[in-house]
Amino acid sequence: MAMKLVKKTADYSIYKRSDDRYAVKDADKKPVNGEEKVKILVAEELIKVTLPAEPEEAPAEDEAAADEAPAEAEGDASAD
């Protein structure tokens, strides 16, 4: 698997793999992965990242409130 050097800085080297993905290695030639790799590739404008859609929290809050109300009513009835 031959990798082509795309960019080299003092901190890291970016390679393009034969499957058109990128590999990032730090100054010690150790692979960089995860969020750090994504930040480097985005900063170099080699990839574009879209943020995930924010989950709808309003329905979840309504369900939680509905679950709490019957539990409180049951607790009051057994206290008598």
User: How many CB atoms lie under 10 A from the CB of residue 40?
Assistant: 20
pLDDT band with cut points at 50, 70 and 90 for residue 52 = confident
* Per-residue buried b or exposed e for 21-34, using 16+ beta carbons within 10 Å of the residue's own CB: ebbbbeeeeeebee
Domain that holds residue 43: 4-79
pLDDT band with cut points at 50, 70 and 90 for residue 64 = low
**Count of the separate structural domains present in the chain:** 1
Whether the CB-CB separation of 6 and 20 falls below 8 Å is answered with no
Which has the higher per-residue pLDDT, 52 or 40?
40
Q: Is the pLDDT assigned to residue 17 strictly greater than 70?
A: yes
Tokens of 53: 């859609």
